[in-house]
Structure 1
């Protein structure tokens, strides 16, 4: 019979902790110390496997898997995605938090969608997508081997955003905006890039008369020729007093990088003063639509498929069609 524990009474038999890490210690001689990691839930799950014991519900709950996802996977994603996923996880935790990951059924996901969709169908879809992602990681990490309960559960149909920003609306907000927002707006419009990609541009991205961009969302790499309006915008930005130790192209007056939150706050204030309701992200669609050249728009936005660009531009302003052209010499009056 083994000795009675003097401490760490919460640990199962033959599990020990040393320097903040957990180990399984064999009962045979010589003792074999098997590392189990520094996470208690994960360590108990591995211990159960070594001891051929069932895994406790507390060690395979949705919260346990979600916490591992947020620790190991989330930091590899873009900052905006990190912010979004952190928000989406709150209601998911409230509903599924203490539930064993392998006991969540498709009907549970469907019921979550139905109830959550009463308040926001779009958020319900986003939260379902995050749940599905976390569950797939749970399968890969060995917490469960059952089919993803999101499989076959359709989300709500979403209407594509179709807001087109007119030149007058753009000018109205621009006139009321902080100089840093004016620079960001012009840069976004000229390049057709997403807000996060505009904000991360650094001076070293400028080379040989071109602006190099690697899109956060897709990893697509572009080189945009610095000419025309873009050349004027870049010259205006670079002519301002700058902190040369900070490589960011868009800087606050104090020389710090222009942050997403500062841009959002100042842009919202300018919209309110101007009495215009478009979002900063709509400038990407305006850039694509205003080119009036689908192939050019596709390259500028970095879309892989032409059909994506077609939908993106047509939904904003409407498809351009030709009017009826009557045959020469036809004098019959129009009814």
Structure 2
């Protein structure tokens, strides 16, 4: 809308500044709201001039050149993906998680000028969009993106690094008891029962469970490379002897009627091609978690708990470790299967399953 023609007495007023009865008011060019500017004509003009400079987009040649030279945050993300991310040599699961976060940041912030991304802008974005561990992960990735951008001359500061660094929340999940395991098992599909027993016996993480193939069984041993601990050396390369209990689980898997290369597999409702799957019967780690959660939530005693307290598929690993100790297996045996670098970590996983015996000490003396 074109500005109104000024009367002769108001021709010296700045745009958006108006006078009424000796009192001046400024009309916000974006919201249309009026703000009082007092009765001093000179001061009101100075204030209106500053406000216009801040609130009205300019079309002068200098501003256009500066704007064209400004770096958008999307450019940093694009170059980070192409130049730096491949050098990190992340495991497939970790790469998938980082890619998910990059996609989110690209969607939300790609058109932001880097020089306009202040500490407050980043802090507000994090506070408004993420909580708990998600906040920590996205803040860390933003910090790394700005550090990368600085090495390429795309930015001079790292506003994310100066935002609040939060501490990870304490886990509140209930340990999975043998009784709960059996109750969940009763609601599980056949393939999920195989997965649960496979996890309980081998004590492997879900990514390693889903990656295990029948071809990994050679000379009576199951060969597994634990993805999370592979960089720590030979402890991550396990050659697990296939004894009767594990052999029974593998045989049940082979009886599914599906020609799958993977020990944990199923026939999906719809077979779709996917770049993230080698075979259509393969189970993604997140799918294993979701399907376990569906069966878990059919158990009334567990379903009444807050979601944050309900045990996940990961708790099967901890229960299995506890059962090994309960059966008299030595510490080193369980630690090796779990792939922990220290026995302290193994005990941290399994000690939550200890049941306290109720008694009294009431001797009168």
State if a TM-score over 0.5 links the two structures: yes
Unaligned runs of 5+ in 2: 1-65, 231-235, 269-278, 303-309
Shift, 1:124, TM fit: 0.7
Q: Does 1:85 align with 2:98?
A: yes
Instruction: Tell me if structure 2 keeps the 8 A contact 1:288–1:313.
Output: yes
TM-score normalised by length of structure 2: 0.60
Please tell me whether Structure 1 or Structure 2 has the larger radius of gyration of its CA atoms.
2
Q: 2: CA distance between counterparts of 1:231 and 1:213? A: 15
Q: Does 1:163 align with 2:196?
A: no
Q: 1: CA distance between counterparts of 2:147 and 2:359? A: 54
Matches within 5 A, 1:113-124: 113-116=126-129, 120-124=131-135
Tell me what 1:249 maps to.
263
Shift, 1:142, TM fit: 5.0
Q: 2: CA distance between counterparts of 1:334 and 1:212? A: 60
Q: Does 1:97 align with 2:103?
A: no
| Per-residue Cα deviation, 1:91-150 (whole angstroms, up to 9, x for no partner) | 534664334557655565545444445xx2221112112223333443455534656842
Tell me what 1:186 maps to.
197
Tell me what 1:209 maps to.
220
- C-alpha change, 1:130 and 1:287, in structure 2 (3 Å) is farther
Q: 1: CA distance between counterparts of 2:256 and 2:238? A: 26
Aligned residues between the structures: 270
- The 3-state SS of whatever aligns with 1:212 is strand
Tell me what 1:233 maps to.
249
Tell me what 2:293 maps to.
268
Matches within 5 A, 1:19-30: none
Tell me what 2:5 maps to.
none
Matches within 5 A, 1:8-87: 56-58=69-71, 61-70=72-81, 73=85, 77-87=90-100
Q: Does 1:288 align with 2:321?
A: yes
Instruction: Tell me if structure 1 keeps the 8 A contact 2:73–2:109.
Output: yes
- C-alpha change, 1:211 and 1:86, in structure 2 (3 Å) is same
TM-score normalised by length of structure 1: 0.65
- The 3-state SS of whatever aligns with 1:150 is helix
